[in-house]
Structure 1
Amino acid sequence: MTRRGARLLPLRRRQRSAGTLQAQLYDRIRQAILSGALSSGARLPSARAMALEAGISRGTVDAAYARLSVEGFLVTRGAAGTFVTTPLPIPPLGASAAPPEQPRLPPRARAALRPFQVGVPAVDAFPVATWSRLLGRHARRARAGDLAHADPCGERALREAIAAHLAVSRGVVTRAEQVMITGGYHGALGLLVHALARPGDRAWFEDPGYHRARAALELAGLRLAAVPVDAEGLDVARGAALAPRARFVFVTPSHQMPLGMALSLPRRLALLAWARGAGAWVIEDDYDGEFQRASAPLPALKSLDDQGRVIYAGTFSKSMFPALRLGFLVVPSGAQDALARVASVLHPAPSLAVQRAAADFLGEGHFARHVRRMRALYAERHAALSRALEELSSPHLQIEQRASGLHLIARLTGARDAEVVERADLLGLAPGALSSYQACAATGRIEGLLLGFAPLPAARARQAVHRLAQAIEQALAPGSTRGAGAAQEASRRRSGLSPWRGPSRST
């Protein structure tokens, strides 16, 4: 390999200190990327070619490539091949450090893991070798019949495995026929709006709520009512007053995104009663229901639904890894035909090999073991971040503790959260601005930081918090506010979101 693909030295087979062949290959490629020998956008040889060049098995290459992809160094583009992430996820080794008063702007690669990043699990602890083995198994076992059109609603084995998993872990009793496989949560949203919605339909949406879903639904032509949340979750009475004839309710009942409370039982029952009377669909986004630190995970809202009004949306982005882009819906009989028709022409399920590997990952117990390990790891990382924040004792941060989820909320006083996020970005951090999740500020603007702890190793928590304190101090410095509105707009542009268009779109 040249500058576009630096040639690797032969791997050492007889020296134990060198590690496994897979680890050696992983290290060589990683170091080539970090040093700049493999430049941004460089195309790597195919797994077969790399195996021949390095004198190792193709499975070893597949496993090393998969690990680098999970960590954000590589990206696979189907038949086009495997490439170094563009732009590079981190600066090359040896890059001169900028002085503290003028920190170096890191590359804008949102695929790279950075401290406090929200919505990303601990991909560094994912069993990549196991997943690669399962994926390789089904790639090698492809039959001629697999090359034709697959079931657009998903592979039967995966649907059965998900149904079995939900019955045990989430209290949702369903049949495999009611499970539909989707391209992650956003694939599920696309399927739902194409199958069940009409332009101009009203929908309740939590405020604050998941901004990417809000943007997707607005692009689809839905008119969203920004329904406030309080300590009990979605305010059902307020929603009924704002949009009594809404066709949809989008809700995160197990762990409200972003504030973290659970929807109380009285509110759950009230929501189901209203939906039954209004003939509305309740879309339950259970994005991280597996991770409850204080007790067993709360049962899903779907488990209380005896009238077929709740469509349960799940994803493996948090429990496995985001690049998998694998999700599912549990669909009541009243919506099955419409969703199946749309899936067949617009939103077919992901590739068979991925689905079959995921079915084995669940069915052979790897998923359950991984989730148990992650609960312990997240408890450790949550505790480490909490301790570091307590030691900081900043008068500008008030930490809110919740019993579930993968991020902490730090309420902010004295500075605009969007500007702190901008300053933190310059220091290599990736907290989220709570205000960006707010649709309507009629009751007062919320200011705070979302601090993801899942991708932050416990040993790095103090260092990350120290850099966060620097960002806050810079945002508080006289003359530092070059316009919080401009900073927030820049943050929205980087995330690909359009700004909220005002109260007229939420009422």
Structure 2
Amino acid sequence: MRASVLSDWLAQRLDRGSAQPVYRQLHKLLQQAILSRELPAGARVPSSRLLAAELGIARNTVTQVYEQLVLEGYVTSATGRGTFVADTSPDEIVGATEIGSMQVRKNSDVSGAVLPGGAVATNSQIARVAESLAVAAPGVSTASGPEAVAAAHPQRPTARALSARGARLIGSAGVSKRQGGAFMPGVPDVSRFPARVWTRLHNKYWRSLRPDLLTYAPGGGLALLRHVLADYLRTSRSVRCSPEQIIITTGIHQSIDLAVRLLSDPGDTIWTEDPCYWGVRSVLHVSGLNTRPIAVDSEGLNPSPADFAAPPPRLMLVTPSHQYPLGMVMSLARRRMLLEYARQHQCWIIEDDYDSEFRYGSRPLASLQGLDTAGQVIYVGSFGKTLFPGLRVGYLVAPQALAESFATASAELYREGQLLQQAVLAEFIAEGHFTSHIRKMRALYGQRRQVLLDAVSRRYGDALPAMGGDAGLHVVMQLPEGSDDRAVAEAALARNIVVRPLSGYYSSRERANPGLLIGYACVPDEEIAPAFETLGEAIDTTLPLLA
């Protein structure tokens, strides 16, 4: 291809007023032309001096583009012979007689591509190639790689269809596009986080620039954090553990994923509460486990005679201190029953203790793990609600006999890091800032909880009772039987209010009770009542019998 033809085509598409640098535009244009095979394999590209002069840009810019294309394998370059388009197509699908497979004779002094057999492409052929480029690339494209090929050949799929497991995960996904505002459940007030203290500790470690904090984490996480966390859990949650039993993770999801991977095989059965947290259910679905939903009552997990008659599960997943999402506390009798059943049948219990620090009017309850004498409870927790969700630090307390295996598996599977963050967190806990922050936030959330309950009572009285408000960061407002809580949630979202439909937490619609999860922790006091009035409008509009 002659320089004038190529340069004219490029000049028409380079946007000199764009925020995107000319270097990147030129690189993408040449890359796209090569990938689409409109700039044929074997074609000689103009020298950097000539192309720069034709385009009116710096020669260094063209040189850098050519060097990048060489590194990426799009072109080849030989001193004294020039730069040529590389053949990037698989041999078996490249047509030997197509213009896209033109080959250059390396011993020829040519200014254009050479057809098979030695004939030099004519100006009209080159012009047709340029014309087809104009059709294939009407403007500057940021696509590269497979995307650019797909753009030139739209009949080719860019990716295979999702697996059955992937489709099931996406089809039942409960993640929200909104992560804050009234009334997003489970989100703390991050504006009250003691940022100055955290920044001081963070800067302290950065100034010391310890290399051992900038590498991969050892199995289980930073030793200092494991030690201070063991002290905290023993004191505040009655967890029986040594530092060696604690595995630092990125949160509840990863902790449960690790336990499931080490303690079960695909096809094994796990008992889950019904309803339960959608995120945990997704982790279990992709693991290949057979989930058996167990109904809950006022005392927590309540297995039926049919559940006991079935083959025992390999795992049980429970939230005994504050059932999610309904909020009841598992009774001592039910806890002892569950531990005895697990001991007799060699089951593992995963205890999800996600927000036990926030109880209003009473002290936090002791953990189920603290009652375990057989070493069959895996205790998991997180700092996402006590500090801030973006911290992404959680923990798992493994039984003593399995602690080393859990630490090894964590390092093998997840290759953790964030040691600097863990060091800051460890000192934050050791200096007493963590417990002080929890005390302040417990008082704040308790006050906001009461403001919300008052707003519910003023508008609906006893018609729509709120439950589960003795702990945590949300309440559940019950709706009349047969109500469409999903429609209410959609109507609320249209008014910029976020609530979650309770029915989405059940294993099936047939077993579901309608209701709304209403979070209050991240909503300023003065905004709660007006926001609830807006939510009330959505409820009354969707469920006119309540109006």
| TM-score scaled by length of structure 1 | 0.70
Counterpart amino acid of residue 325 in structure 2: P
Which residue among 293, 301, 309 is the counterpart of 1:234? Answer: 301
| Equivalent residue number for residue 156 of structure 2 | none
Q: 1:147 to 1:322 in 2, by over 3 A?
A: closer
Q: CA deviation at 1:122?
A: 1.6
| Equivalent residue number for residue 285 of structure 2 | 218
Structure ranking higher on relative contact order (CA contacts 8 Å, 6+ apart): 1
**Is contact 1:203-1:243 (8 Å) kept?**
no
Q: CA RMSD in A?
A: 2.3
Counterpart amino acid of residue 210 in structure 2: R
| Equivalent residue number for residue 101 of structure 1 | none
Please tell me whether residue 259 in structure 1 is matched to residue 322 in structure 2. no
Q: 1:465 to 1:238 in 2, by over 3 A?
A: farther
Map 1:116-155 onto structure 2 (within 5 A).
Answer: 116-155=183-222
Q: CA deviation at 1:310?
A: 0.4
Q: Deviations over 1:421-480 (max 9, x none)?
A: 0011111111111000000355x43000011111111111110111001111221359xx
Please tell me whether residue 192 in structure 1 is matched to residue 246 in structure 2. no
Q: Deviations over 1:14-56 (max 9, x none)?
A: xxxxxxxxxxxxxxxxxxxxxxxxxxxxxxxxxxxxxxxxxxx
Q: CA deviation at 1:351?
A: 0.5
Which residue among 471, 493, 507 is the counterpart of 1:439? Answer: 507
Which residue among 416, 432, 446 is the counterpart of 2:484? Answer: 416
Q: 1:429 to 1:416 in 2, by over 3 A?
A: same
Please tell me whether residue 378 in structure 1 is matched to residue 460 in structure 2. no
Report the count of equivalent residues: 374
Q: CA deviation at 1:396?
A: 5.5
Counterpart amino acid of residue 432 in structure 1: R
Please tell me whether residue 174 in structure 1 is matched to residue 245 in structure 2. no
Q: CA deviation at 1:191?
A: 1.4
Q: 1:147 to 1:320 in 2, by over 3 A?
A: closer
Q: CA deviation at 1:124?
A: 1.9
Please tell me whether residue 475 in structure 1 is matched to residue 530 in structure 2. no
| Equivalent residue number for residue 428 of structure 1 | 496
Please tell me whether residue 392 in structure 1 is matched to residue 450 in structure 2. no
Counterpart amino acid of residue 488 in structure 2: V
**Is contact 1:171-1:303 (8 Å) kept?**
yes
Distance in 2 between the 1:422 and 1:464 partners?
15
Q: 1:110 to 1:179 in 2, by over 3 A?
A: same
Map 1:9-158 onto structure 2 (within 5 A).
Answer: 110-158=177-225
Q: CA deviation at 1:167?
A: 1.2
Q: CA deviation at 1:391?
A: 1.2
- 3-state SS of 1:311 partner: strand
| TM-score scaled by length of structure 2 | 0.65
Gaps of at least 5 residues in structure 2 are: 1-17, 20-174
Could you tell which deviates more after superposition, 386-395 or 270-279? 386-395
Distance in 2 between the 1:445 and 1:172 partners?
34
Counterpart amino acid of residue 520 in structure 2: F
**Is contact 2:328-2:468 (8 Å) kept?**
no
| Equivalent residue number for residue 68 of structure 2 | none
Counterpart amino acid of residue 219 in structure 2: P
| Equivalent residue number for residue 296 of structure 1 | 363
**Is contact 2:322-2:355 (8 Å) kept?**
yes
Counterpart amino acid of residue 367 in structure 2: A
| Equivalent residue number for residue 11 of structure 2 | none
| Equivalent residue number for residue 66 of structure 2 | none
Distance in 1 between the 2:199 and 2:393 partners?
16
| Equivalent residue number for residue 399 of structure 2 | 332
Counterpart amino acid of residue 188 in structure 2: P
- 3-state SS of 1:346 partner: helix
Q: 1:457 to 1:417 in 2, by over 3 A?
A: same
Q: Deviations over 1:200-228 (max 9, x none)?
A: 11000000011110111111111100000
Distance in 2 between the 1:375 and 1:184 partners?
21
Q: Deviations over 1:373-421 (max 9, x none)?
A: 0111011101111111111126762222542111111001263110010
Q: Deviations over 1:341-379 (max 9, x none)?
A: 311211244411110011011100000000000111011
Distance in 1 between the 2:468 and 2:395 partners?
30
Q: CA deviation at 1:245?
A: 2.0
Q: 1:364 to 1:283 in 2, by over 3 A?
A: same
Counterpart amino acid of residue 431 in structure 1: V
Structure showing greater Rg: 2
Distance in 2 between the 1:349 and 1:137 partners?
22
Map 1:235-384 onto structure 2 (within 5 A).
Answer: 235-237=302-304, 240-241=307-308, 243-384=310-451
| Equivalent residue number for residue 97 of structure 1 | none
**Is contact 2:215-2:419 (8 Å) kept?**
no
Distance in 2 between the 1:280 and 1:397 partners?
39
